[in-house]
Amino acid sequence: MKILADENIPLVNEFFQSIGEVVTRPGRTMKNDDARDASALLVRSVTHVNQALLNSSKVSFVGTCTIGVDHLDQPWLQNNHVEFSSAPGCNANSVVEYVYAALCHLDVNWRDKKFGIIGCGNVGGLLYKRLKLQGVDCYCYDPLRTPEHNTDLTSLEEVLSCDIISMHTPLTNTGEHPSFHLINLPQLQLLNAGAVLLNCGRGPVINNADLLHFLTERDDVRVVLDVWEPEPDISLNLLDKVVLGSPHIAGYSYDGKLKGTEMIYQALCKHLNRPAELSIKDLVPPLANNQLRITEEKITWEQVKRLISQVYSIADDDKRLRALATRARNGEDNFAIGFDSLRKYYPTRREFHNYHVVGADTKTAEWLSVLGFSVASSTNE
């Protein structure tokens, strides 16, 4: 069988070559001719899977190595008896670590802040769980959840009054609670001076034109954007206004991407009624030289900031995107192509659980453990 896959799916050949012939293509430019002879299609969020792509093809299975499925025309797939599967939760930990890294870079200690979360599914739910373990004062908005799922549910207005607001919603245009342009100018005007707003879900959940207008008039709110409206042709003027910008890579940790590949591999094996014989552990060795040592006497917050920036420099993501914008404005680069290139060649980022911290005092060790680090407490506290 022929398996058509996005060329940016990591270890796609290693996982799937025992099942069939793997042919890779750029995800954003896949065409009907590419899929015509394929029996299975493996994609990421940049590929719109619909009738135009799959009409008259032999594809009977579509797997997306992502949490979101808004790029799949689910009714069409169902009506044409094409099975589809996603990878819910695969990059949730990666996105949560992006939030932590952004706040550390901005020197915003979330422990003593009123923290709002919009969207409490796989990603927002994990962030909420971690924050609650640290005793953080949380306020959540998700009309699809009930108090049984989350005891801190409240109104959108209450969440927008928080010191930190982190958005993790899927993109929906229909139903009782569509998320498209959930946040417009009236909602943005509810933000308090000094607030930090992060969007790591889907770009169009915030009306980007309204956001640019808002930030042009107010410089007392700090905005972090990993997702944009539209991508890859984002507003460079908006990029100028945000304090941190990145090219939709919050979920791009190497571990998260590998987990997505593994989950879709398992789903295709199930579809074909064959055992899943491979796992990440079979293909990827543990991280070498993974020990981080605390040698200086600093308060816990300073230690946390240093360690997180040591394993993930979110500032570098921002610098690469702004450097691309400068080249594009000078006529030296095509921004849209460059945006996708930054994603395709994104540096390997490993999640916190791959690192072992030595020498932390009890308070710091507890904090780092909640964040996911492997920690050995200091013996001379």
Whole-number Cα distances in Å, 281 to 15, 58, 286: 12, 32, 8
In three-state secondary structure terms, 358 is strand
The pLDDT assigned to 68 comes to 84
CB-based contacts of 98, cutoff 8 Å, min separation 6: 200, 226, 246, 250, 251, 312, 314
Domain architecture of the chain: domains with CATH: 2-86+253-283 (3.40.50.720), 95-245 (3.40.50.720), 291-377 (3.30.1370.170)
pLDDT over threshold 80, residue 364: yes
The pLDDT assigned to 380 comes to 40
356 catalytic residue (yes or no) = no
The pLDDT assigned to 340 comes to 93
- pLDDT above 70 as % of the chain: 99
- Confidence bin at 378 (pLDDT 50/70/90): low
pLDDT of 276-292, one tens digit each?
999 999 999 999 999 99
148 catalytic residue (yes or no) = no
Out of 231, 320, 343, 349, which one is annotated catalytic?
231
Indicate the pTM of the whole model.
Answer: 0.90
Residue type, 109: N
pLDDT of 296-341, one tens digit each?
778 999 999 999 999 999 999 999 999 999 999 999 999 999 999 9
List the structure tokens of 58.
């032999």
List the structure tokens of 258.
């590998």
The pLDDT assigned to 296 comes to 79
Out of 28, 44, 130, 202, which one is annotated catalytic?
202
pLDDT of 1-25, one tens digit each?
999 999 999 999 999 999 999 999 9
CA 72-266-346 angle, to 5 degrees, is 65
**How many beta carbons lie within 10 A of that of residue 209, not counting itself?**
14
Contact of 151 with 180, CB cutoff 8 Å: no
The pLDDT assigned to 161 comes to 98
The pLDDT assigned to 377 comes to 60
The pLDDT assigned to 381 comes to 39
**How many beta carbons lie within 10 A of that of residue 188, not counting itself?**
21
Whole-number Cα distances in Å, 355 to 46, 234, 260: 31, 35, 21
pLDDT of 197-222, one tens digit each?
999 999 999 999 999 999 999 999 99
Out of 248, 320, 343, 349, which one is annotated catalytic?
248
pLDDT of 97-116, one tens digit each?
999 999 999 999 999 999 99
pLDDT of 111-155, one tens digit each?
999 999 999 999 999 999 999 999 999 999 999 999 988 999 999
231 catalytic residue (yes or no) = yes
Give the Cα separation of 259 and 350 in Å (integer). Answer: 12
List the structure tokens of 241.
């206004």
- β-pairing, 114-118 with 137-141? parallel
